[in-house]
A and B are shown apart, each in its own frame.
Chain A
C-alpha cells in the first residue's frame, strides 16, 4: 500500500466519522466510536439508528454515481460525460413527478415510479443506439441519451406546470435529491440492486482501458468490445437508476469525481474505478453533512450542495487540464 492509498483510506474513515459526528446533536469523535461499539452508550441511538444508515447510504450512492460516471466516460470516450447524460435522469424524474402528481401515497410509490421511468429511458436509449441490429454505437448512445432525456424533461415540466402548488414543491424537492428518508431498509434495498453492477464494473477496468483507444484497437489487444460496451452500459445505467430511485437526482458526483481521480490518481481504470468509488462516497457524505447542518433546522437538498461545491471544483480542474 502506497502513501496515496493510505491517505485515501484515512480520508474515507475521517469522512464517515465526520458524517456521524455532525448534526443537530453534535458528537465528539470519541462519542461516535463509543456509540458504534456499545449499544448501551448514550450516543448509540443517534449514531446507529439516525446517522449511520444515512451516512452509509450517502457513501454507497456517491460511490455508485462516481463509478458509473468513470465507466461511462470511458465507454463514450469523453471525459466530460455524466451518468445522467444518458437520458435516465429524465426518465426517472418523469416517473417520480407523475407518481407525485397522481398523489401516489405509499412510501415506495415514488422510488418505484422513478426506477421504472429510468428503466424505460435506458431501454429506449439502448434501442436507439444499437445500429444495424448488432452494434452499440457510443456516439449514438450519447445523442440518444440527450434526446430521450430532453423529451422526458419536457413532459415532466408540463406535468409540474399543470400541477397544484404543494405537488410542485414536493416534485422539485424530490428531484433535487436528498437522504432525509434514509433508513437501514433503504440502504439494504440499494445494496441489493447495486452489488452486481458494482462487481461487473470493477471487473471491466482493463477492458475499458482498451475500449478507450477505439473499438478495433481494443479488439486487437484482446477485448471483446461489443460485450464490454453492453455490460458497462447496462451496469452503469442500473446502478445510476437505483441511486436515483433511492435519493433523487444528485448531479456532479458522477462528472467531477472521476475526472478529478483521473487527474490526481491514474487514468488506468483498474485503479480509477475503485478509487472513484471511494472518492465519490467521501464527496457525497461530506456534501450531505453540509446539506443537513449548514442552515439548521432547515435541510438543503444535497443536489444543491454537490452543484455548489462541484461546479467551482470542476471549473478549476478544467482550467488545469487545458493549461
Chain B
C-alpha cells in the first residue's frame, strides 16, 4: 500500500502562510522513506495531513488508492500504524493493555478481545522485544522501552504502512540503533515505512530514500547521496557541514565549527 503526497498544500486556520506548499512524494511497500528538515519545517504537519487530520488547501494526500480525507478513522487505523512524537499517559496502563489499544480499530466499541487480538498483541510484543514488560506499568518504563512499546502497539494494528515521528528523540545510541534496525526489518517484511527524524546519519544508512523539508517545501528528495550534500544541508539547516561516505557508501554529515568553516567540505 502506498503513501503519497501530490502537490500537497496545507494552511492552518487563521495562519498567514502555508504550512506545507507543493509537497510531492511517494512511499512504496518494502521501502523506508526518511523525512527530515529543520524544526518547524512542516514534518509533523505533513504527518497529520497524510493521515487526514488536516484538510489540504490544494493537492492531495493519498493512502492506498484513496485520498486520506476519504478514509474513516477505523479503516485508516487498520491500514496505517503511527507512533506519534508525543502522547500523554494520564492513566497508568500496563504494557499489555497499552499494546491492546492497537486492536481497538478492529474490536469496535463493546466486543471483548478475542484469540486473534491476543495473538496479535503477543506477536507485536515479541517483535519489539518487550514481552517481558507486558505486566509493567507504562509510566515505569525507560525511554527506550517506552518507544519499543509504542512501536509494538502500532504493529498490533497489523498495518500495511508504519510511520514513526521522531522515534529516537531522547534515546541513547544503542536504543536508537535498535529502533532503526527494527524498522528496517519490518520494512523488509513488506511494510511501507516512513520515519520522521533528525538523525540524518542514521537515516542515510537505513533509509532507501530521503525527503528534506524546509519551510513547508521539499528542499531535496531522492537517495541519501543525492540529498545529503554539503550544499543542500548548509542551505536547509543554515549551518556549514562536511559530508564524507561511511564504509557502506552512505554519506555521513559532520557539522563544522566556525574555525573549520573556511576549510569547506572536507572529505
Q: B82: which A residues are within 8 A, CB to CB?
A: 220
- The residues of B that contact A224 with a CB separation of less than 8 Å are 73
A236 → chain B closest CB, angstroms = 17
Given A206-B104, A221-B105, A221-B157, A213-B89 contact (CB < 8 Å): yes
A221 to B209, CA, bound (A): 27
Interface assignment of A217: CB less than 8 Å from any CB of chain B = yes
Given A203-B110, A219-B53, is A214 in contact with B104 using a C-beta cutoff of 8 Å? no
A77-B88, A222-B76 given; A267·B101 CB < 8 A: no
Question: How far does the Cβ of B255 sit from chain A's closest Cβ, in whole Å?
Answer: 31
Taking CB atoms, residues of chain A closer than 8 Å to B97 are 267-268
Q: Contacts A214-B86, A222-B74, A222-B77 known; A267 to B14 CB distance under 8 Å?
A: no
Number of interface residues of B (CB under 8 A): 33
- How far does the alpha carbon of A214 sit from the alpha carbon of B108 in the complex, in Å? 19
The answer to whether the Cβ of B93 comes within 8 Å of any Cβ in the partner chain is yes
Give how many A residues have a beta carbon under 8 Å from the other chain's beta carbons: 28
Using CB atoms, name the residue of chain B closest to A76: B90
Partner of A270, one of B48, B91, B110: B110
B87 at the interface (CB under 8 A from A): yes
Give the contacting residue for B104; candidates A78, A210, A216, A267; CB below 8 A.
Answer: A210
B230 within 8 A of A: no
Contact check, A221 vs B77: say whether CB atoms are below 8 A apart.
Answer: yes
A selection of 11 A-B contacts at a CB cut-off of 8 Å is A205-B109, A206-B107, A207-B109, A212-B90, A220-B81, A221-B77, A221-B104, A221-B153, A222-B105, A262-B91, A267-B91
Closest 10 A/B residue pairs (Cβ): A222-B105, A222-B77, A267-B91, A220-B82, A222-B74, A217-B87, A77-B90, A203-B109, A213-B87, A214-B87
Besides A221-B102, A222-B76, 18 new A-B residue pairs in contact (Cβ under 8 A), listed by A number: A132-B14, A207-B109, A210-B104, A212-B88, A213-B87, A213-B88, A214-B88, A216-B48, A216-B53, A219-B51, A220-B51, A220-B81, A221-B77, A222-B73, A222-B74, A222-B104, A224-B73, A262-B91
**Chain A stretch 240-286: residues in CB contact (< 8 A) with chain B:** 262, 267-268, 270
Asked if A79 CB lies within 8 Å of chain B CBs, one says yes
CA–CA, A126 to B51, complex, Å? 28
A183-211 interface code vs B (CB 8 A; 1 in, 0 out): 00000000000000000001111110110
B92 contacts A by Cβ under 8 Å: yes
Provide the bound-state CA to CA distance between A221 and B82, in Å. Answer: 8
Task: Tell me which residues across on chain B come within 8 A of A222, comparing CB atoms.
Answer: 73-74, 76-78, 104-105
Tell me which of A74, A203, A206, A224 has the highest count of chain B C-beta atoms within 10 A of its own C-beta.
Answer: A206
Q: Does B59 contact A (CB under 8 A)?
A: no
Q: Is A61 an interface residue (CB 8 A)?
A: no
**Is A85 among interface residues, defined by CB-CB distance under 8 A?**
no
User: Chain A interface (Cβ within 8 Å of chain B)?
Assistant: 74, 77-79, 132, 202-207, 209-210, 212-214, 216-217, 219-224, 262, 267-268, 270
Chain B residues 142 to 156 lying within 8 A of chain A, measured CB to CB, are 153
Determine the residue in chain B with the shortest Cβ distance to A269.
B91
For A268, list chain B residues within 8 Å (CB): 93, 97
Q: Output the nearest chain B residue to A209 by Cβ-Cβ distance.
A: B101
Q: How far is the CB of A219 from chain B (nearest CB, A)?
A: 6
In contact, A209 and B104 (Cβ under 8 angstroms)? yes
Contacts A209-B104, A221-B102 hold; do A132 and B73 have CB atoms under 8 A apart?
no
| Chain B residue at minimum C-beta to C-beta distance from A213 | B87
Pick the contact of A79: B14, B80, B84, B91 (CB < 8 A).
Answer: B91
Chain A residue contacts of B258, Cβ below 8 A: none
Q: Which B54-87 residues have a C-beta within 8 angstroms of A?
A: 73-74, 76-78, 80-82, 84, 86-87
Known: A219-B73, A220-B51, A222-B74. Contact between A210 and B101, CB under 8 A? yes
B156 to chain A minimum Cβ distance, whole angstroms, is: 10
User: B78, A267: Cβ atoms under 8 Å?
Assistant: no
Report whether A216 and B110 are in contact in the complex, using a CB–CB cutoff of 8 Å: no
The smallest C-beta distance from B46 to any residue of chain A, in angstroms, reads: 13
A219 to B47, CA, bound (A): 12
Q: Which residues of B contact A210 (CB under 8 A)?
A: 101, 104
A206-B87 Cα distance, complex, nearest whole Å: 17
